[in-house]
Amino acid sequence: MSVEFVVHPSDHPLAAAERAAILAAPGFGKHFTDHMATATWTPDTGWRDRRVSALAPFSLHPSAAVLHYAQEIFEGLKAYRHADGGVWLFRPEMNARRFARSARRLAMPELDEESFVRGVEALVRADEAWVPDGGSEHSLYLRPFMFAAEAFLGVRPAEEFVFSVIASPAGPYFAAGVAGVTLWISAEYTRAAPGGTGAAKCGGNYAGSLAAQREAREHGCDQVLYLDSADRNKLEESGTMNLCLITATGELITPGLGTILDGVTRDSVLALAPDHNLTPVERPVTRAELSEGCRTGAITEVFATGTAAVITPITAFRSPTDDFTVGDGAPGKTTLTLREHILDIQYGRTQDTRGWLHRVL
Ligand code: COI
């Protein structure tokens, strides 16, 4: 069985001048490239009709299962342009494996790792002109996703799925970027419970996060920080990012896996920590440990990780009961060094000693 995506080039690509104007200031998730990758699945055929074709709307029956029961998963990864013009992905196999885990949790068919990576590669090749110049630290954000397309209203796993990849040139996820962002510690909303879908990257988790995100905005914060659903005492993750703390004793602490997303950037930061004289530690962190640690100086820096957000300094927290800053309220030095380290690897400015980069072009 071939896992190749057959390319049918678009007959109406955007004019080069319009593309250049978008690439000069892409924002995040606002503009899309000329093509998309797709494949379809039914129990009888398995995955078939792998193709790259012109970006176009899907045609869905109003009863399509995804519209009612949210049987949908997605991923996020980026293509980086290196100084020599080459285009690379960062650890795409990690995304492929998490996609398969998410599919299992949502009772969806798994897409094999090779097809996932080939689909992403084929789209990047078709839309190479959309990969921004690496000097700007812009990238091409890739969004693989899968949804239940079968038309029926019974509640059971669907029997028809679409896999797709779309691409969007990307600048910083947060306007404040490396200047640092503020998190709202929600007392009202939680994100996930043991046995639930917290570790899966499914659209439903993000739909449930929007009210909390709005609450955070209403309190002047950029994002929400969730506490665990059992006793609302332990830190979980931020709406779109994993959380990391740096201590005065040289530990890089992040909440352990289970109900949070197994982030690729989180995993990479844990691996890079020893290069920065930090001991990586995965363990529960209480809300009191965070606030007291920030007040006493036992916690010196806090940052969040994610593909879209890269490494984003957290400079302050707000909650219904107290507000506190991290350090002197400025982005942490080690945070910025770690951020530079990971970007240097992604943009090919330093040696990739761990074999994390995957060449496309
Ligand atoms: C990512 O960082 O790639 C994400 O998926 C987070 C968000 C943009 C939904």
pLDDT at position 25, please?
94
Give distance in angstroms: CA of 350 to centre of ligand 1: 25
Location of structure tokens 């899968």: 146
> Is 77 in a helix, a strand, or coil?
strand
Residue 92 CB less than 6 A away from ligand 1: no
State the DSSP code for 15.
Answer: P
pTM, rounded to two decimals = 0.97
CB 254 within 8 A of CB 266: yes
From the CA of 77, give the closest atom in ligand 1: 3
pLDDT at position 239, please?
82
Residue 307 CB less than 6 A away from ligand 1: yes
Q: Do domains 6-170 and 181-346 have the same CATH topology?
A: no
pLDDT at position 134, please?
83
Residue 265 CB less than 6 A away from ligand 1: no
The burial class, CB within 10 Å (0-12 / 13-18 / 19+), for 6 is exposed
Residue nearest to atom 9 of ligand 1 (CA): 240
Residue of 75, 142, 240 to mutate, ligand 1, most atoms within 8 A of C-beta: 240
Pairing type for strands 299-306 and 139-148 reads unpaired
Q: What is the pLDDT of residues 5-41, one digit of tens each?
A: 999 999 999 999 999 999 999 999 999 999 999 999 9
Residue 239 CB less than 6 A away from ligand 1: no
Give distance in angstroms: CA of 240 to centre of ligand 1: 6
Q: For a pLDDT cut of 70, what percent of the chain falls above it?
A: 100
What tokens were used for 358? 């995957």
DSSP calls for 229-270:
TTTS-BEEEESSSEEEEEETTSEEEEPPSSSS---HHHHHHH
Q: What is the average pLDDT score of the chain?
A: 97
Class for domain 181-346, per CATH?
A: alpha beta
| Average pLDDT by stretches of 10, the chain with 361 residues | 93 98 96 98 98 98 98 98 97 98 98 98 98 91 98 98 98 85 96 97 97 97 97 94 98 98 98 98 98 98 96 97 96 97 97 98 98
| Cα gap 282→82, rounded to integer Å | 33
Give distance in angstroms: CA of 314 to centre of ligand 1: 17
Q: What is the pLDDT of residues 169-210, one digit of tens each?
A: 999 888 777 899 999 999 999 999 999 999 999 999 999 999
Class for domain 6-170, per CATH?
A: alpha beta
Residue 304 CB less than 6 A away from ligand 1: no
Give distance in angstroms: CA of 174 to centre of ligand 1: 12
| Cα gap 315→329, rounded to integer Å | 5
Sequence spans of domains, the chain: 6-170, 181-346
Residue nearest to atom 7 of ligand 1 (CA): 240
